[in-house]
């Protein structure tokens, strides 16, 4: 076994964000760049010799090249086995499922999630631990520390592995098994949901469209929806994964998923629409000419959970990220179960799930999941909705409006300002924070500021502290404005502004969210000086 030890020097800014390291493909293609980060992952781990690692990605450009490097480095560093998705493909939820099913030591996921792909697009890599979830902060901090002092990495000089054919081979002393990327995940979904009732729903003439956005979920959705559940052929659109996502932006929102939106808001719209993202962990839910916000979706799944076989005995609790609306909190109160408010990033849900404190989790960024995995799961959410629709025999809009009538409506929206000059964005946040001492008790129109802070979180399981997680301004009437700089982009900065207003009056539930939030939208700019610092007259994306 020809193990080479290659001398190297650190790269600046190899710091993992909320979902690993994301950069332009051109940066990852620099000599030693990928290798440095992979070795830094390995150097942060203990007791992995002879253990199993799962490797796969969303199929974007550079995915297969990176996998060959990772396999050779895993073998050189002493891993005993690697489970690799055929063609190098595994959705992020599937990686989590496979780690858990086969008791793997961990996994490496190659994805930049909802970011664009292709030679000029983005690439990403992250490490998942043995529970199937993203590495917690103590590990990502160790990875970053290692990346800033690295001076060598280890790799085997050997031929590339054939990723096209299922079966076993070896790299050095490490066994490599190329596995069906869909089978284990599909089997898990059959255990969770009532497939027979969903089949009957489709047999009754129910119509839907699922937009895979030429990303990883195409094969998963085609097998589960069309083959196993009997949805008509063609239900899955843009179902062939492409290395550049067909030139599109694989982000399931009202702007990027325009093909689906045009269908669902057009004449003769199907009864149900859904989309997922680049790596399969996000979802967008639509009814006929009706959009369901991710925050409402989480609350509705929680309120209807006992209709689902896997959750028929009820929920232990609910967790949501801080910027996600408080809609799920109202459900938790009604069910008399605990709820938790965490920072953004799925890794913060892992301890709560492992400790049995919560069953469902969600983020406003189109991510929902449960204790079946330790990742958010786009197709799982779609199947959850289908199971509810089969059980209740009502439209998406009727289900949502009945939910609002029972629990009240949290008018909610996220405004994204993308590609903002990073220094200007940071100056905006610094200036905003400097005003916080003067804001409590100040009146803006009919609203009076009750509190403002930079959100921090104490993990109730391991008591670790996460600070500087987003600026919050809360008003006495319960409305909120939240400002965050996103860590998922690769160019400039993305300023996210979250706006929320709770309304009990059923007579006002029909209002458009942007109309209902109009005064908060204006106030958000007034307080933070968004236009002044960013130069933007309006957001890049509104959801």
Residue-wise pLDDT for 388-443, tens only, equals 999 999 999 999 999 999 999 999 999 999 989 989 999 999 999 999 999 999 99
- Domain match, 360 and 421 both: no
Q: What is the pLDDT of residues 178-191, one digit of tens each?
A: 999 999 999 999 99
- Domain match, 482 and 387 both: no
Cβ burial of 159 (10 Å; 0-12, 13-18, 19+) is: exposed
pLDDT of residue 467: 87
pLDDT of residue 398: 98
pLDDT of residue 487: 57
How much is the average pLDDT of 91-103? 98
Show which of 407, 442, 458 is a domain's final residue.
407
- Domain match, 401 and 414 both: no
Q: How many residues can be counted in the chain?
A: 543
Q: How far is CA 136 from CA 13, 263, 324, 347, in A?
A: 19, 40, 21, 6
How much is the average pLDDT of 320-325? 96
How far is Cα 432 from Cα 436, in angstroms, rounded to an integer?
7
- Boundaries of domain holding 493: 409-542
pTM of the model: 0.94
Q: Quick count: other Cβ atoms within 10 Å of Cβ 2?
A: 9
pLDDT of residue 347: 85
Show which of 120, 154, 180 is a domain's final residue.
180
pLDDT of residue 491: 65
How much is the average pLDDT of 156-169? 97
- Domain match, 18 and 75 both: yes
Q: What is the pLDDT of residues 205-253, one digit of tens each?
A: 999 999 999 999 999 999 999 999 999 999 999 999 999 999 999 999 9
Give the number of domains in the chain: 3
How far is Cα 484 from Cα 73, in angstroms, rounded to an integer?
36
Task: Tell me the pairing of strands 447-454 and 471-475.
Answer: antiparallel
Phi-psi domain of 118 (left: phi exceeds 0; alpha: psi -120 through 50; beta: other): left
pLDDT of residue 492: 77
Q: Quick count: other Cβ atoms within 10 Å of Cβ 31?
A: 9
- pLDDT class of 120 with cuts at 50, 70, 90: very high
CATH number of 365's domain:
3.40.120.10
How much is the average pLDDT of 167-179? 97
How much is the average pLDDT of 452-479? 92
Q: Check whether 132 has a pLDDT greater than 90.
A: yes
Q: What is the pLDDT of residues 358-402, one digit of tens each?
A: 999 999 989 999 999 999 999 999 999 999 999 999 999 999 999
How much is the average pLDDT of 109-131? 94
pLDDT of residue 34: 98
- Domain match, 314 and 206 both: yes
CATH number of 417's domain:
3.30.310.50
How much is the average pLDDT of 188-210? 98
Three-class DSSP category at 499:
strand
Show which of 407, 442, 459 is a domain's final residue.
407
Nearest-CA neighbor of 501 among 484, 483, 482?
Answer: 482
**Residue positions annotated with a catalytic role:** 113
């Amino acid at each position: 076994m020809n193990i080479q030890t290659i001398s190297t020097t650190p790269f600046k800014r190899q710091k993992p964000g909320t979902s690993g390291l994301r950069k332009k493909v051109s940066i990852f293609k620099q000599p030693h760049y990928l290798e440095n980060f992979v070795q830094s992952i390995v150097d942060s781990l203990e007791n992995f010799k002879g253990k199993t690692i799962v490797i796969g990605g969303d199929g974007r450009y550079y995915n297969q090249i990176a996998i060959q490097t990772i396999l050779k480095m895993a073998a050189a560093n002493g891993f005993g086995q690697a489970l690799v998705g055929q063609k190098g493909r595994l959705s992020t939820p599937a990686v989590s499922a496979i780690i858990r099913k086969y008791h793997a030591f961990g996994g490496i996921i190659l994805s930049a999630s909802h970011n664009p792909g292709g030679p000029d697009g983005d690439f990403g890599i992250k490490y998942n631990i043995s529970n199937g979830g993203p590495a917690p902060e103590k590990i990502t901090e160790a990875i970053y520390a290692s990346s800033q002092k690295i001076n060598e990495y280890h790799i085997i000089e050997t031929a590339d592995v054939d990723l096209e054919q299922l079966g076993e081979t070896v790299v050095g002393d490490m066994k490599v098994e190329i596995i069906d990327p869909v089978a284990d995940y599909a089997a898990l979904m059959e255990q969770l949901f009532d497939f027979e009732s969903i089949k009957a729903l489709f047999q009754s003439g129910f119509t839907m469209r699922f937009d895979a956005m030429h990303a990883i979920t195409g094969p998963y959705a085609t097998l589960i929806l069309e083959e196993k559940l009997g949805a008509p052929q063609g239900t899955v659109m843009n179902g062939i994964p492409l290395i550049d996502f067909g030139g599109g932006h694989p982000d399931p929102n009202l702007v990027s998923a325009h093909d689906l939106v045009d269908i669902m808001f057009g004449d003769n719209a199907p009864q149900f629409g859904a989309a997922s993202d680049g790596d399969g962990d996000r979802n967008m839910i639509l009814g006929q000419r009706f959009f369901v916000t991710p925050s409402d979706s989480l609350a509705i799944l929680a309120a209807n959970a006992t209709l689902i076989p896997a959750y028929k005995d009820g929920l232990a609790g609910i967790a949501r990220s801080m910027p996600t609306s408080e809609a799920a909190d109202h459900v938790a109160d009604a069910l008399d179960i605990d709820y938790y408010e965490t920072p953004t990033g799925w890794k913060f849900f892992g301890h709560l799930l492992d400790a049995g404190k919560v069953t469902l989790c969600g983020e406003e960024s189109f991510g929902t999941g449960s204790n079946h995995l330790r990742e958010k799961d786009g197709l799982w959410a779609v199947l959850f909705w289908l199971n509810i629709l089969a059980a209740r025999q009502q439209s998406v809009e009727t289900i949502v409006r009945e939910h609002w009538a029972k629990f009240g409506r949290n008018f909610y929206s996220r405004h994204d300002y993308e590609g903002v000059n990073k220094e200007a964005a940071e100056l905006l946040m610094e200036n905003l924070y400097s005003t916080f001492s003067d804001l409590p008790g100040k009146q803006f129109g009919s609203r009076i500021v009750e509190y403002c802070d930079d959100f921090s979180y104490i993990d109730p399981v391991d008591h670790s502290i996460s600070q500087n997680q987003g600026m919050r301004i809360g008003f006495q009437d319960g409305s909120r404005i939240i400002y965050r700089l996103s860590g998922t982009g690769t160019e400039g900065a993305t300023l996210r502004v979250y706006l929320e207003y709770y309304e009990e009056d059923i007579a006002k539930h029909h209002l458009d969210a942007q109309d209902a939030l109009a005064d908060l939208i204006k106030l958000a700019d007034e307080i933070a000086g968004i236009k002044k610092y960013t130069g933007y007259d309006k957001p890049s994306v509104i959801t």
